[in-house]
Structures are given as C-alpha cells and as structure tokens.
Amino acid sequence: MGTPIVVSAPGKVLIAGGYLVLDPAYSGLVVSTSSRFYTVIRAETSTTSRICVRSPQFTNATWDYNVSSVAAQVTVEPSPENASKNKFVHLALQKTITLAVEVKGASSVKDILSKGTDIAIVGGNDFYSQRAQLEARNLPRTLESLSKLTPFAYTGVELANVHKTGLGSSAALITSLVSALLVYLQVIPESSLTEGDNQGRRLAHNLAQYVHCFAQGKVGSGFDVAAAVFGSHLYTRFQASVIQPLMDDQVVPLFPVISPSNSEWNYNIGDFKLPPLTRMMLADVDAGSDTPSLVGKVLKWRQESRDTANALWTTLDSLNQELAKTLLQLSELYSRNEKAYIDVVTHAASLSASEWSTLTMSKDPVISAFVKVRNTTESIRGKMREMGTLCDVPIEPIEQTKLLDACVSLPGVIGGGVPGAGGYDAIWLLVFDPPGSSEELPSERVGGLWQSYTELDVSPLLASESMAKGARIEKLADIAGLKEAVGSA
Ligand SMILES: Nc1ncnc2c1ncn2[C@@H]1O[C@H](COP(=O)(O)OP(=O)(O)OP(=O)(O)O)[C@@H](O)[C@H]1O
Ligand SMILES: C[C@@](O)(CCOP(=O)(O)O)CC(=O)O
C-alpha cells in the first residue's frame, strides 16, 4: 500500500458578524481552530472498486460504497449492508468523483479507484463534548484534563447521538474529505494545499460549499466551510444563486459552476488573524440551541422591522469592522516594535482592564489598541443583546451575560462574546498570553473561574487559533495519535 493522502481542515468560531454574515452586504470575523478534521485515503489491493469509509470514533460508522459507471457517468451507491447512513459522506464522494470525471476523464478516475479505496475520517476531541469521557475517568473539566485524553477518542456512541460543540464538524469534515479526494484523484496538486490562496484551493472551496449546502438542504452563509478551507479571515459570502442550478440535483455538468473561473463566485476572504501573544479560549455551556430556529426568528424580525433592523445592523457592522481592523493593527504594531509590544502584554496580563490606564505606558499605541478591542467587544455584545431583545431570541441570554461579565472582569482578559448565532451554546474569550511568565496566566485564571462556576455547566475546549491557513496536506506520522486512531485498512 502506498503513502496515504492525509488532509486536515480546521473548525471555526465566528467571533463577530453572526446573522449579518448571511447578507453579502456585511462581513463576519471568523477564527479557525487548532482542532481539525483529518481524512486519510489509501489505495487497497482488492479486485473491486469498493470505497470503504470509516469513522473509528463512533459505533456502526463504517460505510461501504460501490462505484459503478455507465459511459462517462460514475455512480456511488451505499452498500445495502451498511448499518447506518451518512448523507454528508455519500454526497462528498458522489460529487467529487463526478467532478473528477469531468476534469480528468472517466478512465483516469476509474483507474485510480480500481483496486478499492479505504478512507478514514476523524475529528479532534473538541468537536464532540468530552464531558462523559472526563467523568468516566474522574477528571475535572480543565484544559489539563482534556490534554490527557487520547487524541480522536472513541465516543462510545453512534454519530447521530453525539453531542457536538459547535465548531462546525460537518464543514470541517466535508472540506477535509473533498480536498483529500481532489488530491487523490489528481484533480488538484498537493501544492494547492501547502500554499496559500490559489486556484486548486478555490476549487476545493467551491466544491465543499456546494456539497455542504446540498447535504444540509439549504444555502447558509458558508463562513464555516470558508474557514475550513482558508483559515481565519474576514468573510463576505457568495451569492446563493451561483449554486442554485445544482441544488435541485439536476444532472448538469458540475465543473462550469464549481470552477474558480466562474465569476459568479463572489465571496471575499479578507486578511485577518488574532494578535500575537494573545490566546482565544472557548467553552461549551451545554445548554445548546437550535441555530436554524434562531436564524428564522431574527430574519423574520429583519423583514418586519426593516428600518430598526437596518440601523442596528449598520452600527453592528461598523463595530465588527472596527474590531477586525484593530486586531490586525496589533499584529502590525508587534512587527514594528516587538519589545514594546511584549512589555505591554507582560504588564497588562496581570491587570484588570480598568487598571490598564494606570500603566506608565498608557498612551502607548499597543495599550490604546487593546483598550479599543476591549471596548469594541463590549459594544458588540451590547448590540447583540439589543437585537436579541428586539427579536425575542436569546442571542446573549442573561445566564451567558453573567458568565461573560465575570470572565471579562478577570485580570488579563481582553474581551469576549457569544460565537455565531449565540443562544446558550458557547462563549469565546481573548486573553493575554505573555511569554515566560512566572505568574498565574490569564488562561489559568479563566480556567479556575469556569471550573468553579455553578450557574451554567461550563466545559472548556482545548482549541486555540490555528495559525496554519486552512486545509492542508499532513504527514500521518506528524499528527499525535492519528495513526493509532485510523488503524490499518
Ligand atoms: N467524524 C465524522 N465522520 C463522518 N461524518 C461525520 C463526522 N462528524 C460529523 N459528520 C457528519 O456531519 C453531520 C453533522 O452535521 P451538522 O450540520 O448537524 O453538524 P454541525 O452543525 O456542523 O455541528 P457542529 O457545528 O456542532 O460541530 C453528521 O450527521 C455526519 O453526516
Ligand atoms: C447565524 C449565522 O450567521 C451564524 C451561525 O453560526 P454558528 O453555527 O452558531 O457558529 C448563520 C450562518 O452564517 O450560516
């Protein structure tokens, strides 16, 4: 068996721009996470072109597919013996193979698939709640405990019953699977996924967006797939009409629509990353909310109260843009004068935000920028709460307000909020992460608060921001626990 193709894709956190990002007139600030999905593809040595997809973290999660072809039409059919269905995986296979046949020709694709294919898919532990695993091992809900769990741990349940944490498992799964298949079927070169923005990466993006929309039965904003492909960025959505001709599954060629040269793909990936020496922290608050029903109510309110909604969204959008600009400016200030930046972070890390002005360097541009980040995140929270009240939707419900207020008043916490659609799901924080500090780190202070918090059931996630820009080629041996998790074919 040759070297496997391994492609990973990160999860996402929409730190600003929830709801607004559904409208191409506005943008969303999305951070990609160090927690990733991995797809490992290997050729088998059999005599049939069967494709076996395995998700070893779940029970009854092996799906066999038969590949058949009539002329240039290749069909992927789930085996009747499969113990469960996986629409997302099935569609990813069908659509990617169809596109590959269009681009490379049927004989090239059939040749690559002729001896059978083994595909293993795993997601980082953060994608699924680890509460049960921690309890079973009698471990407290801390980052330290999470780091002791086996990577890609077995969940003990079927996929349909897993408790997801909101990091965008389906978008990361589809992106890693579609991208890995495009490489395996030689539609795009490996370099597409080792280099930054390029045509191959864009092809993977467009196809993953389409497959994800098709599997979900609706066209969302797509920020989650965009984060999985491109990493952290400022996202402006594509117009839904670009994939509309393919959404009713009429047999039309995919490539003319999916191709990166189709100018109807008008999404924009703006530059964005979190500042140096800060750390994003995430916690799942376990009450869970139903995003589609929140979205439905917010959009209905926007229809019915156009003027109020537009005024609120315009204010929110300028705050979101301000946040993006100031966070980026901090990276620039770091590269201009590293020492001055490190001094500020080191000092401010042990002070509460109200004390930052007491620093001798309080007129410093780095301090001013962090103060602006703080004030802007607080204003965004205020406006999101206002929207929640106006639509009667719990975007930042009182329980989360209390938790966030307690977090952002801790020394070293810069700001935070409710990610994405909000609603009893999760919180995100940005904290200082000073180098070589002997004092308690802000992340440790936050961890302590979360552990002792009783009003909500707070469970931290290990993820921080992924510095790698989106989907990428990996080496099986380089990822701790991956070889063991995917086992042998
Ligand atoms: N490890 C996996 N292996 C195979 N398929 C998976 C895996 N994880 C998720 N999926 C697919 O993704 C689907 C879940 O998609 P859904 O849109 O409900 O989640 P999501 O909104 O992306 O979740 P979250 O954002 O909370 O992670 C599953 O039904 C399954 O088809
Ligand atoms: C409300 C919305 O803007 C964001 C939802 O984000 P999340 O799934 O809650 O992270 C919906 C969307 O963009 O598809």
Distance 291 CA to ligand 1 centre (A): 14
Tokens 């990353």 correspond to what residue? 273
Distance 448 CA to ligand 2 centre (A): 29
Beta-bridge mates of residue 66: 77
Distance 220 CA to ligand 2 centre (A): 8
pLDDT (0 to 100) of residue 439: 84
pLDDT (0 to 100) of residue 350: 94
* Single pTM value for the model: 0.97
Q: Give yes or no: residues 69 and 194 share one domain.
A: yes
Taking CA 12 as the corner, what is the angle to CA 302 and CA 334, rounded to the nearest 5 degrees?
105
Counting beta carbons within 10 angstroms of the beta carbon of residue 375, is it exposed (0 to 12), middle (13 to 18) or buried (19 or more)? middle
Phi, psi (degrees; rounded to nearest 5) at 281: -120, 145
For residue 222, which atom of ligand 2 is closest to its CA? 14
Token pair of 272 as six digits: 């964005």
Token pair of 263 as six digits: 């100018």
Token pair of 247 as six digits: 């959404």
Ligand having the closest approach to the CA of 53 = 1
pLDDT (0 to 100) of residue 489: 53
- Rounded Cα–Cα distance for residues 469 and 32 (Å): 8
Task: Name the helix (H) or strand (E) containing 473.
Answer: strand 472-474
CA dihedral (132, 137, 141, 143) positive or negative: negative
Residue 234 lies in a domain: yes
> What is the signed CA dihedral for 56, 58, 60, 65, rounded to 10 degrees?
-50
Q: Give yes or no: residues 165 and 268 share one domain.
A: yes
Ligand having the closest approach to the CA of 211 = 1
Average pLDDT, the chain: 95
Mean pLDDT in residue range 409-436? 96
Token pair of 105 as six digits: 């020709």
Provide the CATH number for the domain around residue 286.
3.30.70.890
pLDDT (0 to 100) of residue 411: 97
For residue 220, which atom of ligand 2 is closest to its CA? 14
Ligand having the closest approach to the CA of 164 = 1
Residue 447 lies in a domain: yes
Domain total in the chain: 2
For residue 423, which atom of ligand 2 is closest to its CA? 9
pLDDT (0 to 100) of residue 288: 57
For residue 123, which atom of ligand 1 is closest to its CA? 1
Taking CA atoms only, the protein residue closest to ligand 2 atom 10 is 420
Token pair of 407 as six digits: 């977090």
pLDDT (0 to 100) of residue 362: 78
pLDDT (0 to 100) of residue 93: 98
- Per-residue pLDDT tens digits for 56-99: 999 999 999 999 987 778 899 999 999 999 999 999 999 999 99
Q: Give yes or no: residues 51 and 179 share one domain.
A: yes
Residue 355 lies in a domain: yes
pLDDT (0 to 100) of residue 74: 86
CA dihedral (16, 130, 54, 482) positive or negative: positive
Q: Give yes or no: residues 437 and 473 share one domain.
A: no
Mean pLDDT in residue range 16-21? 98
Q: Kind of pairing, strands 117-123 and 51-54?
A: parallel
- Rounded Cα–Cα distance for residues 410 and 406 (Å): 7
Ligand having the closest approach to the CA of 89 = 1
Q: Residue 438: which pLDDT band, with cuts at 50, 70 and 90?
A: confident
Distance 127 CA to ligand 2 centre (A): 16
Mean pLDDT in residue range 279-288? 87
Residue 162 lies in a domain: yes
Q: Residue 202: which pLDDT band, with cuts at 50, 70 and 90?
A: very high
Provide the CATH number for the domain around residue 244.
3.30.230.10
Yes or no: say if 416 and 427 are a contact pair by the CB < 8 Å rule: yes
CA dihedral (310, 316, 317, 318) positive or negative: positive
Mean pLDDT in residue range 129-157? 94
For residue 19, which atom of ligand 2 is closest to its CA? 3
For residue 11, which atom of ligand 1 is closest to its CA? 27
Q: Give yes or no: residues 334 and 454 share one domain.
A: yes
Helices within 337-475 (DSSP H only): 338-348, 365-391, 398-408, 442-452
Residue 424 lies in a domain: yes
Q: Which of 31, 430, 380 minimizes the C-alpha distance to 234?
A: 31
Determine the residue of 54, 87, 88, 486 to mutate for testing ligand 1's pocket, defined as the one with the most ligand atoms within 8 A of the Cβ atom. Answer: 88
pLDDT (0 to 100) of residue 375: 96
Q: Give yes or no: residues 221 and 334 share one domain.
A: no
Distance 90 CA to ligand 2 centre (A): 24
- Per-residue pLDDT tens digits for 228-271: 999 999 999 999 999 998 998 766 799 999 999 999 999 999 99
Please count the residues of the chain: 489
- Rounded Cα–Cα distance for residues 411 and 432 (Å): 9
pLDDT (0 to 100) of residue 367: 95
Q: Is the pLDDT of residue 37 over 70?
A: yes
Q: Give yes or no: residues 266 and 302 share one domain.
A: no
Q: Give yes or no: residues 403 and 446 share one domain.
A: yes
Report how far Cα 167 is from the mean position of its chain's Cα atoms. 5
Q: Give yes or no: residues 157 and 286 share one domain.
A: no
pLDDT (0 to 100) of residue 361: 75
Q: Which of 134, 62, 72, 64 minimizes the C-alpha distance to 100?
A: 72
Q: Residue 360: which pLDDT band, with cuts at 50, 70 and 90?
A: confident
Q: Give yes or no: residues 201 and 336 share one domain.
A: no
For residue 425, which atom of ligand 2 is closest to its CA? 9
Distance 122 CA to ligand 2 centre (A): 23
Token pair of 459 as six digits: 């469970």
Give yes or no for residue 163 CB within 6 A of ligand 1: no
Beta-bridge mates of residue 118: 42, 52
DSSP annotation of 9: E
Mean pLDDT in residue range 13-36? 98
Give yes or no for residue 155 CB within 6 A of ligand 1: no
Q: Give yes or no: residues 78 and 173 share one domain.
A: yes
Q: Give yes or no: residues 220 and 99 share one domain.
A: yes
* Domain housing 310: 278-461
Residue 488 lies in a domain: no
Residue 487 lies in a domain: no
Q: Residue 357: which pLDDT band, with cuts at 50, 70 and 90?
A: confident
Give yes or no for residue 313 CB within 6 A of ligand 1: no
Q: Is the pLDDT of residue 291 over 80?
A: no
Q: Which residue has the higher pLDDT, 268 or 489?
A: 268
pLDDT (0 to 100) of residue 251: 64
What separation in angstroms does the CA of 423 have from each of 50, 289, 358, 384, 403?
43, 6, 36, 11, 13
Taking CA 202 as the corner, what is the angle to CA 419 and CA 235, rounded to the nearest 5 degrees?
25
Yes or no: say if 287 and 456 are a contact pair by the CB < 8 Å rule: yes
Residue 197 lies in a domain: yes
- Rounded Cα–Cα distance for residues 38 and 377 (Å): 33
Give yes or no for residue 434 CB within 6 A of ligand 1: no
Beta-bridge mates of residue 43: 117
pLDDT (0 to 100) of residue 359: 80
Task: Write out the DSSP string of 29-92.
Answer: EEEEEEEEEEEEEEE---SS--EEEE-TTSTT-EEEEEEEEETTEEEEEE-TT-SS--HHHHHH
Q: Residue 289: which pLDDT band, with cuts at 50, 70 and 90?
A: low
Task: List the beta strands (DSSP E) in 195-239.
Answer: 233-236
Distance 232 CA to ligand 1 centre (A): 21
